Amino acid sequence: MDTLELTQQLIREPSVTPNDGACQSIIASRLEKSGFTITQYPFGNVKNLWARHGTTAPLFLFCGHTDVVPPGPIDAWKYPPFEPTVIDGQLYGRGAADMKSGVAAMICAAEKFVAKYPHHSGSIAFLITSDEEGDAIDGTQKVLANLPSSDQAIDYCIVGEATSDKKFGDTIKNGRRGSLSGKLTIHGKQGHIAYPHLADNPIHRAFMALHTICEINWDNGDEHFPPTSLQFSNIHSGTGAGNVIPGKLEAHFNLRYSPKQTAEKIRDRIENTLKDYQLNFEIQWTHGAEPFITHPGKLTVALSDAIKKTTGISAELSTTGGTSDGRFIAKTGAQVIEFGVINQSIHQVNENTSVKDLTQLTSIYFETLENLLTQSLSE
Ligand SMILES: [Zn+2]
């Protein structure tokens, strides 16, 4: 069965987070046939799977997720989201790009690799979760904390997320920015709009302070990261009545930050700015993700060479985009990069991927394994 067939089989499972459907049992039975040892790590209603082939170092890990985001309005889809459909060389369905295609490609590549090199050097492992698109609490992070120490010594990791931008093969993610969110409440005193001296208007108080926060030049980024950016996403104040000064203003914001910042530094700077304006405020902080970076080295070269050989394209290293489970693997000290199909349609209706790219992705993963795990074999 090739990558396309396996991807279609996985798309037929409506595995909206944290449901897995039968995805992981399909994966487990295939890897088991190829000689992998399977361990399940269920937590709550989340399913997780660990599979390993080989016992020695270096340990190469494929990381992925079987869950998908909800399809949204079914009527808006050209083809039903959980009935994979191939039209003009494109495969349509929820998870076609994010990331059942990536999961299928890594499985087919590994099957082919262990069949060709049953005595490859090092080990190949899989960490597959059904909790990536959700809270990501009972998924990758928790599996890593529960693995025996021999499985924790990960040297190389490829996450199969859709990273290609305009052309398949053009982008490898070698890091991700951190994410920090704040829910700010500025308190005033409610009153009649004709008697402002008896009230304290939080809208007026907020203007200058929020403007100053927007104008902060956090950093200029560096060779790997774009500049840190703060964006307000929601702002609300007012009772609805035109003659009432409201009692409070609420503003929500998020920062995507480079390793030049820390969450603590950002929190201090924002809170000190608000204090400078003598505001009565509180902030609820949520630290979504810490940033990570894998510097160019053995893993990036092994993957870039495979991409070049298969597609003729020289991939660029990038750290843009949202967060991913790569951040948890990076904490173990492993080199972590992400590479997969084109991400234009992820999380959208009519999510799709090119069938040709699927085949090429499988070859690229296979050749990356060859580049890393066959060097010490005698030809
Ligand atoms: Zn994904």
One-letter amino acid at 289 equals A
Q: pLDDT value at position 1?
A: 55
325 in active site: no
Q: pLDDT of 224-253, one tens digit each?
A: 999 999 999 999 999 999 999 999 999 999
Amino acid 308: pLDDT: 98
What confidence score (pLDDT) does residue 76 get?
96
- Residue pLDDT, tens place only, 26-37: 999 999 999 999
Helix (H) or strand (E) holding 180: strand 178-187
Write the DSSP assignment of 57-83 as a string of letters: SSEEEEEEE--B-----GGG-SS-TTS
Residues with CB under 5 A from ligand 1 (ion): 98-99, 161
Q: Which two tokens stand for residue 98?
A: 């994010």
Q: How many A from CA of 98 to the centre of ligand 1? A: 5
Judge whether 219 counts as a catalytic residue: no
Count of CB atoms situated within 10 Å of the CB of 320: 14
In this prediction the pTM is 0.86
Which stretches of 204-247 are assigned E, i.e. beta strand? 229-237, 244-245
Q: Which domains, ranges and CATH numbers included, belong to the chain?
A: 3-176+291-373 (3.40.630.10), 178-289 (3.30.70.360)
| Rounded distance between C-alpha atoms, residue 116 and residue 19, angstroms | 34
pLDDT of residue 172: 97
What's the burial of 91, exposed, middle or buried (CB within 10 Å: 0-12/13-18/19+)? buried
pLDDT for the residue numbered 321 = 83
Distance of CA 74 to the CA centre of its chain: 25
Do the bridges between strand 123-129 and strand 59-65 make them parallel or antiparallel, or are there none, so unpaired? parallel
DSSP secondary structure string for all residues of 326-347: HHHHHTTT-EEEE--SB-TTTT
Choose, from 132, 138, 325, 357, the residue flagged as catalytic.
Answer: 132
Q: What is the distance in A from the centroid of ligand 1 to the CA of 320?
A: 14
> Is the Cα torsion angle 196, 198, 202, 208 positive or negative in sign?
positive
Q: What is the pLDDT of residue 379?
A: 42
Which parts of the chain register pLDDT below 70?
A: 1, 376-379
* CA 78 – CA 205 distance, rounded (Å): 50
67, 111, 138, 325: the catalytic one is 67
